Chains A and B, each alone.
Chain A
Amino acid sequence: MIEELHAKATKGRAATNGRATLGRTTLLRDVYRSLINSGRTYAAFRDEDRSTVARLIDRSPVLDPMSGYGGLARLCAELGIQSSGIEYNPAQYFWQLLSHPARTDMHLRAIATLLRQRRNWPRTRQRAVVADEFFPHDTRALVERLFNLIQTTVAELPSSVAKPWEVTASLLLPFSGRLACTSPGDVSTHTKEGGTCVLLGWQDDFSSYLDALRSHLELIKERSKCINHEVILGDARSVDLGNRRFRSMFTSPPYPNHRDFSSILLPENTLLKVIGCSNGFDVPFVREGIIGSNFVKGAERHCPTSSVANRFMAEALTVRRNKRAEYDDEVYYMPYFRNYFYSLENAYHNIAKYLHASFEGYVVIVNNTHRGIVIPVSEIVQDIWQSLGFRTEVFHAMESSHMGAKNPRAKGLRARHTEYVVRIWR
């Protein structure tokens, strides 16, 4: 009876195109529901960026050194251009693998087999688990059994797979948050360790997930004109690309708006560690190492060399504040901004080594605010590239509001954000 009720509530059919979608009551994490249902999250290239990417059609592959969820690969695939993405965050890297157009057939076959094998899915008698950690013993055991089941399925697929564990991880990660004990964080997309995990009906949700994922992958397959996209798990600040020289780039850095991609995807990255330990693989990841990470306590203190960045930070310290704000600036915001701009400098400095003499690139940036003054990220990005010997210009600017803002109810200047597309060339 309860199962019937849940099946009714959790299985959604989108009004458009009859595609299977995931409802909130599936208890899948918002970020993955959004990615599966609409192919994007709040931080992704928009359709307006398509025409800019199309300018690079003769310069492929297009490089994205901070490729996130693979928004550029999606645009390039639809435009018939090759792309190369570098991503530091393993959970985002695995999402890129999952939605990679060259892998859709393999993933679709794996999904079909998994759905046929439903009676072999692990069972649990518990309704719920309460814990202070993401994966306590009970859910860890369940997730590991599920991982093994998927891995066996993948290994038996007709097409040979070099690393079955990679395919398995990419199929399991978007669902893994459903089996984690999590609680909402202070920012809507963040999540905290500890909470209640409902195990009752998880199989229905897994089935709904596979169903919706199948729809998502079929759409990718249908729309992709090019399947040659490279995805590299690495750090833009230190990645070694050998003798390669890219003639184009289209990228967008994380914005300094206090969203922290390590916190957004913490359960998934924790699971990778857990499963990696018991399955003999290791995915390198330092939570504090993510550009724009909120973790400043105990982190190494660096100073950017960009004069624009330093001017902004000096100005921010002159704003009239109460004692609490002064304290917050001293212990958190200023170290955060310093590390953020320093990381951007390092990343661009490293990537610049791999850019061709005839290079042309675009960086999408949103300027938002801190203590009532604009954080001039676009000017700082231009300053950094100019210091590296490149020429820059604002290719496109658009006033918008609430772009990636922490507080969706913010008003006035705090709600106003300007999106810039900066063109860079030698």
Chain B
Amino acid sequence: MAVSKNDTRVTQSGVVIRNDAGLGGMLGFTQYSGLVYAIAQDDAQGVLNWLDRKQEHPSAQIYISTLGMGWSIPQLKPVYPIPQLLPDTRSWSVVPSPDKPILVNWFITGRCPLACKYCYAEDLMRKEDLEPTAAQISETAETILSLSPVVVVLTGGDPLFSPHIATAMRSLTGRVGIIVDTSGYTMRDHHMRLFAEHGVSIRISIDSQVPRINDAQRPVSSLYPKLVSRGHALDAAMEALCRCLDAGLNVTVQTVATKRTANDLVPLGDTLFRLGVHSWRIFKVAPSQASLSGYQRLVGTHTDDGRAYKGKRAKGPYEHAFAQVLLARAAQWKNQLAIQVTYNESPNSVVLVSPDGRFVTESNTGKGKVLLDNLHPKLPRLSAVRSVVDMSGHAARYLNLTTPFERANS
């Protein structure tokens, strides 16, 4: 099948939408929460008219309190349903499986000031000869857009380390939702201006509110000794987070839960809530060929000498820790914190683009990164994408179907 033209578009309200026959409805991304929602087919046209300001109200209030955030309602009254299926889960009888990717993670650089112990992308990084030029960036952006994702995440490495971040944003802006993943370690004023100019949703990584724990998992890379003088990774991340919040930018905090951080997630949530953060993504540390030893040390299902625990401990602390977070969300944070919990059980549910423009995903048989299309690694066919990527897992990941519903909605 030939690559189709981009049928994702930005509505008058700024919400990015795409119709998806496979999904059985419409996808909508709002930069204000950084969340993607699936809209039931019956309501799609009405919602589209409302988003294009042709209609005063959508068919249900829930659309206003989710997709209306930031333009239709004051940010004080949002609702963050789990999962992100609208108008409610009853309208979706089967797990949606989209025809095209919802979100593409684009590694615009392999350079990163940090060397996270669990980094799943280490095999795509730190290869100077693969660093793209400005022309290649524009070219890759067009290829990504041809897959019609609703959101493109500029990641890396740290995208703020790339000299071409502005080029990448210019290529994408007004055509797709943009998220920037960063450690915040090298965030500067001109980055903030770029984010504001292009309506970017920012994701900052903070694993723990304790400097020694956060920095043990996310140490500064020895490749950049001059950067070490800038201090703790947590210091920098917290400073970047506060600057973004002060500037009124839309921020999501990302946390990788490991055996060292899982039990302290609720206090971290308290801190984020009080800082004014509205969106929090929590990942269970993921196995990856790129840093398997780091994963095994941090996942908490093995002893220090590598033997697997038996019984209850074999699962690690995650189930209990995530349940506590969801209880706190309802009881303490009054559902005013959007939470996405990802167990990372389907490694090939992501679409990744390497710095040199190859489209890959994580192998589900532990072989590291695999090409989406062996014949056209830099211009994959949609049929090849669908055959390699677990599209149901992909939808589950980005529509928040992996967070335990009962707990979240209790």
Contact = CB atoms under 8 A, between A and B. Distances in A.
B264 interface: yes
B270 A130 contact: no
Contacts of A1: 74-76
Interface string A1-35: 11011101100000000000001110100000000
A306 interface: no
B271 A9 contact: no
A127 interface: yes
A130 B276 contact: no
Interface string B263-289: 110010011011110000000000000
B264 A23 contact: no
Interface size band for B:
20 to 34
Interface string A100-133: 0000000000000000000000000011101110
B22 interface: no
A259 B212 CA distance: 24
Interface string A183-220: 11000000010111010110000000000000000000
Contact of A196 (B74, B209, B263, B328): B209
A127 B242 contact: yes
9 tightest A-B CB contacts, nearest first? A196-B209, A127-B242, A183-B210, A2-B276, A198-B274, A130-B238, A130-B235, A195-B210, A24-B332
Contacts of B274: 6, 25, 27, 198, 200-201
A25 B333 contact: yes
18 contacts: A4-B76, A9-B334, A23-B332, A25-B332, A25-B333, A27-B270, A127-B245, A127-B246, A128-B238, A128-B271, A130-B209, A130-B234, A131-B211, A183-B267, A192-B210, A194-B212, A200-B274, A200-B275
Contacts of A192: 210
B126 interface: no
B45 interface: no
Contacts of B245: 127
B232 interface: yes
Given A23-B332, A24-B332, A184-B267, A196 B238 contact: yes
Contacts of B270: 24-25, 27
Contacts of A198: 271, 274-275
A4 B76 CA distance: 9
Contacts of B333: 9, 25
A131 B209 CA distance: 10
A129 to B, nearest CB: 8
B346 interface: no
B49 interface: no
Interface in B242-256: 242, 245-246
Contacts of A201: 274
Interface string B71-83: 0001110000000
A328 B40 CA distance: 59
Interface of B: 74-76, 208-213, 232, 234-235, 238, 242, 245-246, 263-264, 267, 270-271, 273-276, 328, 332-334, 336
A184 B260 CA distance: 12
Nearest to B269: A25
Q: Which of A2, A9, A198, A200 counts the most chain B CB atoms within 10 A?
A: A198
B332 A5 contact: no
B232 to A, nearest CB: 7
Contacts of B76: 1, 4-5
Contacts of B232: 130
A243 to B, nearest CB: 50
B70 to A, nearest CB: 12
Contacts of A194: 210-212
A184 B264 contact: yes
Contacts of A8: 334
Contacts of B246: 127
A248 B74 CA distance: 64
Given A27-B274, A184-B264, A200-B275, A9 B210 contact: no
Nearest to A198: B274
Most chain B CB inside 10 Å of its own CB: which residue of A4, A5, A126, A132:
A5
Most chain A CB atoms below 10 A, which of B76, B211, B274: B274
Interface in A163-195: 183-184, 192, 194-195
A127 B75 CA distance: 19
A369 B259 CA distance: 27
Given A183-B209, A198-B271, A198-B274, A128 B74 contact: no
Nearest to A6: B274
Contact of B336 (A5, A128, A131, A183): A5
B336 A126 contact: no
Given A128-B271, A200-B274, 10 more contacts: A9-B273, A9-B332, A25-B270, A25-B332, A127-B245, A183-B213, A183-B264, A194-B210, A196-B234, A201-B274
B209 A126 contact: no
A161 to B, nearest CB: 34
B242 A132 contact: no
Nearest to B208: A183
Contacts of A132: 211-212
Contacts of B271: 27, 128, 196, 198
Contacts of B276: 2, 5, 127, 200
Given A2-B276, A5-B76, A25-B274, A128 B242 contact: yes
Which of B211, B263, B270 has most chain A Cβ within 10 Å? B211
B245 to A, nearest CB: 7
A124 to B, nearest CB: 12
A423 B222 CA distance: 65
B179 to A, nearest CB: 22
Nearest to B242: A127
A184 B334 CA distance: 22
A207 B276 CA distance: 19
Contacts of B334: 8-9
Contact of B275 (A128, A131, A195): A128
A184 B266 CA distance: 10
Contact of A126 (B242, B263, B267): B242
B105 to A, nearest CB: 28
Contacts of A195: 209-211
A14 to B, nearest CB: 15
A5 B277 CA distance: 11
Contacts of A200: 274-276
Contacts of A127: 242, 245-246, 275-276
Contacts of B267: 183-184
Contacts of B234: 130, 196
Contacts of A9: 273, 332-334, 336
A128 B336 CA distance: 20
Interface centre among B208, B210, B332 (most CB of A within 10 A): B210
Contacts of A184: 263-264, 267
B311 to A, nearest CB: 14
A183 to B, nearest CB: 4
B78 to A, nearest CB: 11
Query: Which of A9, A183, A200 has the most chain B CB atoms inside 10 A of its CB?
Result: A183
A130 B213 CA distance: 12
A23 B270 CA distance: 11
Nearest to A3: B276
Nearest to A204: B274
A198 B234 CA distance: 14
Contacts of B235: 130
A322 to B, nearest CB: 13
A123 B271 CA distance: 19
